[in-house]
Structures are given as C-alpha cells and as structure tokens.
Amino acid sequence: MESKWDVYKLNQLVSIVRGASPRPIREYITTDVDGVNWIKIGDVKPDSKYITETKEKITIEGAKKSRFVKKGDFILSNSMSFGRPYIMEIEGCIHDGWLLLSDFTKNLNKDYLYNILSDKIVQEQFISAASGGTSVDNLNIDKVAYTQIPLPPLDIQQKIVAEIEVLEAKEKRAREEVEGLKLKTKEIFESINSLNKVSLEDISENLDNLRKPVTKGYREKGEIPYYGASGIIDYVSNYILDDFVLLVSEDGANLKARTSPIAFTVNGKIWVNNHAHILKFRDKATHKLVEIYLNKTDISEYITGQAQPKLNQQNLNAIKIPLPPLAKQQKIVSQIEKIEAQIALLEGQIGVIPQEKEAVLRAYL
C-alpha cells in the first residue's frame, strides 16, 4: 500500500477477537429485562454506523459462554456481508459471526478508523482476503489482523473526520428531505383515496393482444427496446407498437418485493413480450396518475401465486383507481412530478457522497 504516512497492520492498532455463541442458542434466549443484549446481523441496517438496540436477549449464563462487547467497541461482520464495521452504542454479546475490535491504540481516532475500514482502501483488502479459495467468502482473525491501515498523525485524522462529518451531515439532511417529500406524495394520494374508484378496464385500453414473446436465440439484434416484466431486457430490429403506453408487470418476484417500479411509461417504437401488460389511456394525466398509483399502492390482493407471483389480465382490469376530474388529475400529476424531480435531485446528491468521502481520504493519505 502506498501512502505518505506510516502503514500499520490492523492488529498493531487494535485487539481482534472472535465472537462466541452458546449452544443450542434457543436455550439461552430470554425475555427477562435483566437479560444481555444478543447482537445479530439482522439487528443492523445496511447504512447504520452504530448499533443501538437488539431484538433479543440472552441469559446471564449464556453471556458467560459468549463474547461481551462494550459501548465504543467496534464489531465487524466476518461472513455473509463481511467486512462491514459498526460501533457499539450499547453493551451486549456477539456470536461467532462477528469479530470484536477493541483496546485501541492512543494514536488512533475511532471515527478515522471507522471511515478507513469502510473505505475501498480496506474493503478491497477484505474482499481479497475473504475469497481465499473457499466456496464461502468469510473473514477470520488472521485475515483481518494483516489488513494494512495508513496512520497519519492525530491532527490529520481529526481533519479527515471533520470533513467527512460535514458530508455525513449533508447526506442526513438530504435523506430527511427525501422522506419528507415521500410523505407529501403519500398525503396527496390519501386525499383522493376517499373518492369513488373505477376499475382500470373502464379507463384504459388493454393491448395485450399485440404482445409477442421471442426466444432470445431467435431475436434479430437492433436498436428497438424489447421489454419484459421489469423493463428493457434486449434490443431488436423490429417493433410491434409505436405509441405512448403504460407497461405493467404481469409476473415475477418484484410484484411482491417492489424493489423497482411495476408500472412504467414507454414512448415510441417498442417490442413487448408476454411478461408485461400494455395499457393505453385517452389522457396523459390519467396515464401518469395510474402509473404513480400502481407504483405506490399495495395491490397484493390482485396478485396470485406465492413462488411465482402473477398479475393476470382479469385481475389487472379489476384494480380500483381513485379518479378525480381531469383538471384535478392534471394538478396532482404536476405536484407529484415536481416532488419526484426534487427526490431525484436529492438522491443524486446522496449517491455521490461515498465518492466525496473517498476523495477526502485520498487527499490526505
């Protein structure tokens, strides 16, 4: 590793030990208020820096067979989503899926350590060490111990931390603004939910009869987007439709997971397979209102199948949509589009924060 500062192995700066689990664990889980916090991977959010609570506790006897961690200690996941550091804001016990970092050397700022452990400088070392030729990627004490850390003087560490904290405050404000804007969107829909609802088939024309699935090996390459349940999956040389339409997922896990939109607007020449419904509306405001409504509303009552969720045409047509007069539709769509533009801008700012943090570290190290 190249750095203008001395580089140390991590075990020269902190003590590293593995967690331990009393077994069988179910015999040590307790609801007693005097139980000891039992820290599991599921207790932490991906973007969290601190661990502040746990869902379960273990008995005092169980704690004697585990590894106790104190407030201010670091824990590091050593399997699954390995290498992610967290700072303890509570006391508790950790199982053997965690490593404990404690007894920090005096010339090490804890917040600097957190940032350097989270950065590519260290994460890439973790990835390389974890792969290790086995079928399951994991980190053990030895692999983590030999991780290299550049260590500038304490005053430089503090400057790094201060600049990163400015970025974190900016990110926090942006996330709060996003949540506030999403709440506004929710309130807009709640304001029309009391209106009389109409079936989707009464306000749209279903064009599913135009769909044509083509096996990948028989598709002729081109520049026309070929759509499936969740968006573009290929490009072909011909089209089945040249129009402004709304595509709605017919099947797939995303109908329940909702990690991406289930309804999306397409405009122009397209080819659509049999995994997405095609809807056409008379008014663009109605089109957009339906798109937003489907993406923000729980429609699980219309979905069949557990292992293979499906929204068939009959159920799609039956979905009830609150539909105010056209003028109000246009006003609502305008409001929501402005909100979505603001959210996109804020999420863009949030998205570059990791690169900005990385740039701070690179500038000093």
- What kind of fold does domain 7-151 have according to CATH? Adenine-n6-DNA-methyltransferase TaqI; Chain A, domain 2 (3.90.220)
Instruction: Give yes or no on whether 154-195+324-365 and 199-315 have one common fold.
Output: no
* CATH-assigned architecture of domain 199-315: Alpha-Beta Complex (3.90)
User: Which spans in 193-325 are helix H?
Assistant: 200-203, 254-257, 284-296, 313-318
Pick from 224, 203, 204, 200: which is nearest to 212 by CA?
224
pLDDT of residue 80: 66
- For the chain, give the mean pLDDT: 93
Domain boundaries, the chain: 7-151, 154-195+324-365, 199-315
- Reported as a single tens digit per residue, the pLDDT across 57-110 is 999 999 999 999 999 999 998 876 788 999 999 999 999 999 999 999 999 999
Integer Cα distance of 349 and 171 in angstroms: 8
What pTM does this model have? Answer: 0.80
* Contact of 303 with 253, CB cutoff 8 Å: no
Which residue is associated with the tokens 């409001």? 335
Mean pLDDT score, 189-214: 92
**154-195+324-365 sits in which CATH class?**
mainly alpha
Closest of 97, 108, 133, 152 to residue 10, by C-alpha: 108
Q: What is the dihedral of CA 341, 329, 271, 311, to 10 degrees?
A: 100
